Structure 1
Amino acid sequence: MTEADPSQTARPFDYLIVGAGFAGSVLAERLASVGKRVLIVDRRPHIGGNAYDAYDDAGVLIHPYGPHIFHTNSRDVFEYLSQFTEWRPYQHRVLASVDGQLLPIPINLDTVNRLYGLNLTSFQVEEFFASVAEKVGQVRTSEDVVVSKVGRDLYNKFFRGYTRKQWGLDPSELDASVTARVPTRTNRDDRYFADTFQAMPLHGYTRMFQNLLGHPNIKVMLNTDYREIRHLMPHSHLIYTGPVDAFFDHRYGKLPYRSLEFRHETHDAEQLFPVGTVNFPNDYAYTRVSEFKHITGQRHHRTSVVYEYPQAEGDPYYPVPRPENAELYKKYEALAEAESGVTFVGRLATYRYYNMDQVVAQALATFRRLQGEKV
């Protein structure tokens, strides 16, 4: 990874890439590998986007932008990233603080038995869900998704309060996709994800990004707004991974996002929580707290945690999934498609909530398309 010096740029770059997160970094690596000269710029002082990790003052490896847990069903994505990192097997587990107990989420057999003092079998819990589920004619909202599967009481205890905090909206006002992401299980599987590949970069995400951007054809500029250097750095093609509405100077208004405030704490204890993340659907202003040493496997005599407070304003994290927002994005999508010499890729540029592996897959597909077009 080489820092770019404007005065030393002898010939044009083939690509100027805006954003050094997963989308931009994967495309930079792929393009450099086929002989393209790439300049990647980021307004932040570090690479890695929101997946960036670093050691805090106590020497604990933390994720400043909240926990990033890698999981995928794509062998192609996993094998691609395996060129740039070794892995530590890790299966994330989450508990929810409900009615004075810490209970597994996603809801499973143990959740129901412990919450209601029952001793159901897998078959019986399936019958239990069927008996409490509410009939919904057409599943349109996040509320519909949950109550049609597990009924009103579990919905109120585990989902409604969490969703209202996270989105600032009632689940009845949100697209079904929000809660459809969380499964319901009739067995005792307490893993948060069920993907085939579940692991964390052995030496952290930042090291992996350093390896991704280590090709001599890649130059990196940090603390840089691309608009200030776009015309100073000659290039053949722009790849943009930032907010699509900002690219077009919010011509049709701002696309709505939810943001997060992260409050980090370090404690003089080896461990505070039994699992990596504890959700608080009904109490406090924060939605969840995560303890990094579970996630990274680091051994340390102190421990660092992060509390997540959803916000209406701040860095864009989650596109708000409502029909009117999708319609607004379509206007920007049309502008993006009409823009010559620019490729839009990644979460913010396509106004979609993607997991990390999905962003990598999108970037790899974009590379293949660019290669096919001989850009």
Structure 2
Amino acid sequence: MRYCVVGAGLSGAVIARSLGEAGHKVLVVDERSHLGGNCHSARDPETGVMTHIYGPHIFHTSNERVWSYVTRFAEMRPYNHRVVAVAKSGVYSLPLNLMTINQFFKRCMGPAEARAFIASKVRKIEEPRNFEEQALALMGEELYEAFFKGYTSKQWGMSPTDLPASVLKRLPARFDYNDSYFAHHYQAIPSGGYTAMAENILRAPNVEVRLNCRFEELSENFAHVFYSGPLDRFFGFRLGRLGYRTLDFERMIDKGDFQGAAVINYCDADVPFTRITEHKYFAPWEKDNFDMTLCYREYSRAAGAQDIPYYPIRLANEQKLLRSYIELAQATEKVSFVGRLGTYRYLDMDVTIEEALAASDRLLELIARGEAPPSFFVEP
């Protein structure tokens, strides 16, 4: 019997290739018409611009194994992601850095002075109970109100006081002029797009790929299933639906340049969208080749039954429901749940690949010993 991988995103592609290269027959199915999952990219037929169909995806990592892996399957072109923010009628750079701080407060401070200045602004909160208190303890009221309060409310559809403090994971300020959004050693985008990279990963011995195919339609008996679709969907939502945020995209075509940057965040609460992305800037090596430009306004909202899930909410109610689904999964034989949707976690692409490679290592060891793979290689 062969193995089945459900989902042709990065998790599924890596696991399928590992199995195929080890001599095992694999069927990969995906109900969409393309490979790559939500990092799918394609040439826009009207403008010719390489487009991140489900929103921007920037590859960044410091993991040497992951970097070595992706460079096997794609030409990775250097790309340093920078984000511009519009807040309270001003234009600033993100993450918060020394330029942002000096511009916002109309000062000319060096690093030490800026540190002391921000320290004088923060609230003394020993144990922040929510996102807002965490932000006030890190940066003070003015920066929080300008850059985070409205944007966070739009992105998550709730008050920052209802979000856990952990959502704000690290100090969101730099006391130098470094405006690079990511700090990882490798930052790049595949020159041919992510879908081409996924296609190359899946171009492996013993691997059959079947698109426009729902797993529920299959009648074949498999040795084991690796499921990277939504965890609750596998069980027919019998316990209820896990909460997600989704995105709506408003397409805009213009001549020349529209905004002069890949991403501009709109932080004010009275602006209904969260950001505008201009996609030719995600491929700076070719951005001057086009007469037209393609942009999208992004609107965040709660995901409905027919929507594409983007961000797991993971608040108290979802955590309780998640534990119940985990118990169901652990009682289900011959199925392992992997990836962002299968484990109900937000994952960057490098972490997705790192976890899929680690799962593949363990999987092949278990198969060699005649043992069954676990329900989860990584606990949700």
How far apart in 2 are the matches of 1:265 and 1:29? Answer: 38
How far apart in 2 are the matches of 1:121 and 1:149? Answer: 19
Q: Among 25, 35, 45, which residue is 2:23 paired with?
A: 35
| Residue in structure 2 matched with residue 322 of structure 1 by the alignment | 315
**Contact 1:106–1:182 (8 Å) recurs in 2:** no
How far apart in 2 are the matches of 1:371 and 1:182? Answer: 40
How far apart in 1 are the matches of 2:170 and 2:120? Answer: 23
Q: Write out aligned runs for 1:50-69 (5 A).
A: 50-57=38-45, 58-69=47-58
Q: Write out aligned runs for 1:12-91 (5 A).
A: 12-13=1-2, 15-57=3-45, 58-91=47-80
How far apart in 2 are the matches of 1:22 and 1:315? Answer: 17
1:302 deviates by 1.4
**Contact 2:7–2:227 (8 Å) recurs in 1:** yes
The amino acid across from 2:31 in the alignment is: R
1:266 deviates by 1.9
1:180 deviates by 1.9
| Residue in structure 2 matched with residue 252 of structure 1 by the alignment | 239
How far apart in 2 are the matches of 1:102 and 1:64? Answer: 27
Q: Among 159, 173, 182, which residue is 2:148 paired with?
A: 159
SS at match of 1:25: helix
Q: Among 230, 245, 264, which residue is 2:251 paired with?
A: 264
How far apart in 1 are the matches of 2:166 and 2:350? Answer: 18
Q: Deviations over 1:262-283 (max 9, x none)?
A: 12222111x2223210000114
How far apart in 2 are the matches of 1:202 and 1:177? Answer: 35
- RMSD in angstroms over aligned alpha carbons? 1.3
The amino acid across from 1:142 in the alignment is: F
Aligned length: 360
| Residue in structure 2 matched with residue 207 of structure 1 by the alignment | 196
Q: Which runs of 5+ in 1 are unaligned?
A: 1-11
**Contact 2:95–2:173 (8 Å) recurs in 1:** yes
Moved more, 37-46 or 304-313: 304-313
Q: Write out aligned runs for 1:67-216 (5 A).
A: 67-180=56-169, 183-216=172-205
Counterpart check, 1:360 vs 2:367 = no
**Contact 2:128–2:134 (8 Å) recurs in 1:** yes
The amino acid across from 1:112 in the alignment is: I
1:30 deviates by 1.3
| Residue in structure 1 matched with residue 377 of structure 2 by the alignment | none
Q: Which runs of 5+ in 2 are unaligned?
A: 373-380
1:143 deviates by 1.3
Provide the TM-score with structure 2 as the length reference: 0.92
**Contact 1:108–1:189 (8 Å) recurs in 2:** yes
**Contact 1:178–1:321 (8 Å) recurs in 2:** no
After TM superposition, what 4+ stretches of structure 1 lie above 6 angstroms from structure 2?
none
Change (3 A) 1:143 1:124: same
The amino acid across from 1:311 in the alignment is: R
1:80 deviates by 1.0
| Residue in structure 2 matched with residue 7 of structure 1 by the alignment | none
Counterpart check, 1:242 vs 2:229 = yes
Q: Deviations over 1:306-344 (max 9, x none)?
A: 211112122111011312322221111122122211110
Counterpart check, 1:336 vs 2:322 = no
**Contact 1:71–1:197 (8 Å) recurs in 2:** yes
How far apart in 2 are the matches of 1:246 and 1:218? Answer: 25
The amino acid across from 2:357 in the alignment is: L
Q: Deviations over 1:146-181 (max 9, x none)?
A: 111101111111001111111101111112232225
1:54 deviates by 0.6
How far apart in 2 are the matches of 1:107 and 1:168? Answer: 23
How far apart in 2 are the matches of 1:330 and 1:365? Answer: 23
How far apart in 2 are the matches of 1:67 and 1:181? Answer: 22
Percent identity for Structure 1 against Structure 2: 40
How far apart in 1 are the matches of 2:91 and 2:162? Answer: 28
**Contact 1:174–1:321 (8 Å) recurs in 2:** no
**Contact 1:145–1:180 (8 Å) recurs in 2:** no
| Residue in structure 2 matched with residue 300 of structure 1 by the alignment | 290
Q: Among 248, 255, 261, which residue is 1:275 paired with?
A: 261
Q: Among 360, 364, 368, which residue is 1:371 paired with?
A: 364
